[in-house]
Amino acid sequence: MARLLPLFVLTLAACSTASAREEGLHLPAPAVDAAPATGEATAVFAGGCFWGVEGVFQHVRGVKSVRTGYSGGDARHANYDDVSDGDTGHAESVRVTYDPAQVSYGQLLQVFFSVAQDPTLLNRQGPDQGTQYRSAVFYATPEQQKVAEAYIAQLTAAHAFSRPIVTEVTPLKGFYLAEGEHQDYMRLNPYTPYIAINDRPKVLALERIYPQMYVAQWANGR
């Protein structure tokens, strides 16, 4: 344990101390979904430390790239040091670029609510606390807003969770890329204690609960 301490301390430089995370929950598919489309589409989510959320979506079939960043605040404070203070309005977020012919926006929401984070936790996920770790769906179009709000209503009516869903559905005002060391973090640092304890179980839950949506290969960042 003593020899692992320096490595453990290094992981705290970004996303706080580690603790066990609950396994994912199988949820019904969205009854309301985005219309079929071709080409590329993007979605922005926030659900705790962006390392784990990024890692989950990098294993979803049809996802082309995932980038970590900051949403909810302004450009001037879009950096890790400021966001870590918890008073910039930003949340650690991910931008998912995907092929809507292979995976729908509703299916991404299904993964987000069931595997990537716990939508009943207010301003915290796992060991991380503060508004920068809040649960949020940042919608870029009226259709995304409609699908997200309808899915939350669907899950609430079905009593899918034992506690109320606190995920914000809010307009996307901007997405600001995080620093290079926060991109592809799980893929590049699979054995750090934080990843092994908090984030690797999310990917395993995706594979177990939604095998039809899981791919072993990591989506390429860009």
- State the catalytic residues: 49
Judge contact between 175 and 44, C-beta under 8 A.
Answer: yes
For residue 44, list its beta bridge partners. Answer: 95, 138
Give bridge partners of residue 139 from the DSSP assignment: 171
Tokens of 6: 């320096």
Count Cβ atoms below 10 Å from residue 21 Cβ, excluding itself.
20
* Interior angle at CA 61, CA 59 and CA 67, nearest 5: 50
**Residue written as token pair 């600001």:** 176
Measured in whole angstroms, how far is the alpha carbon of residue 161 from the centre of its chain? 18
Strands of 63-71's sheet, edge to edge?
168-171, 135-139, 41-47, 91-98, 63-71, 176-177
How far are the Cα atoms of 77, 78, 117 from residue 56, in angstroms, in the given order?
A: 26, 23, 10
Task: Spell out the alpha helix ranges (H) of the chain.
Answer: 5-15, 50-57, 80-83, 105-111, 142-157, 185-188, 193-194, 200-209
User: Cβ(45)–Cβ(93) under 8 Å?
Assistant: yes
